[in-house]
Amino acid sequence: MPRLPAPHPATTKANEALQTPCSMSPTNVSAELHRGLQKHLVRVLGGDNRRDLDKIDCHPDPDGFLYEGTWQGHRRMLATLTVDQQAQTAEVTLIATKGTVEADPALLGRSGQDIGNTILVARLFHVAIFFARAARFAALTNHPYTPRLAQKYERMGFVNGIRLPLDDLGQLSKAFAYVEDVYVKSGLSLALAPLPL
């Protein structure tokens, strides 16, 4: 009998995400995500002076929680997490930079030299999908500020650039195909943990 082709790595990773056990309460997700980001995001780029993080802090925010990632005291990432318990969704807003550009809320929706940090965003996205699944969320949501950002989030699996359903194999496969494409360019593997948590 002919052997069936191996599934695409992105589909394999999407299936792993779908099989992630619901192991945490949504009310604890901010602390658990902080733990996961510290474990799976800090120094994952081998100490790259322009792109990596060496510390992530979590602070309460009026709308949820704020995660601040720094490299040698320089703020390189700001991410907010807003949980809607009734809708079972987690809304994520993210600002990431490279080099000496400071991550600042004023950069939201803007583009320019060293505004954006694709590998850091892809790694955070990879980790967040697994933690959101473990917290029983139905979807990750996002409100892109520009058509350019909406198109980017569509490539990341968000339907219309707004909602990533976490029980949809097709959309999760699209999400991990995006992550894999970014990883390959930076010498990382989609086989990195979480595999699942």
DSSP letter for 29, please.
H
CB 65 within 8 A of CB 58: yes
pLDDT interval class at 194 (50, 70, 90): low
Q: Cα–Cα–Cα angle for 59, 51, 36, nearest 5°?
A: 45
In this predicted structure, the answer to whether residue 6 has a pLDDT above a threshold of 60 is: no
pLDDT category, 99, cuts 50, 70, 90? very high
Cβ contact 69:76 at 8 Å: yes
For residue 167, give Cα distances in angstroms to 31, 34, 134, 178: 23, 23, 12, 18
User: Which 3 state secondary structure label does DSSP give 172?
Assistant: helix
Percentage of the chain modeled with pLDDT above 90? 46
Residue 100 has pLDDT above 50, yes or no: yes
Q: pLDDT at residue 197 above 70?
A: no
Which sequence spans correspond to the domains of the chain?
A: 9-186
Q: Which of 101, 122, 98 is nearest to 49 (CA)?
A: 98
β-strands 89-96, 163-165 pairing = unpaired
pLDDT of 44 reads: 87
Mean pLDDT of 91-108: 91
Sheet strand arrangement including 163-165: 55-61, 64-71, 74-84, 89-96, 139-141, 163-165
Q: What is the pLDDT of residues 8-23, one digit of tens each?
A: 678 888 887 777 766 6
* DSSP category for residue 43: T
Residue closest to 127 by CA, chosen among 64, 18, 34:
34
Q: Full-prediction pTM beyond 0.75?
A: yes
d(CA 175, CA 178): 5
Q: Is the pLDDT of residue 184 over 80?
A: yes
- What are the pLDDT digits (tens) for 119-145? 999 999 999 998 888 888 999 999 887
- 1: confidence class by pLDDT, cuts 50, 70, 90: very low
Count of CB atoms within 10 A of residue 117's CB? 26
- Confidence class of residue 54 from pLDDT cuts 50, 70 and 90? very high
- Residue 2 confidence (pLDDT) above 50: no
pLDDT grade for 196, boundaries at 50, 70 and 90: very low
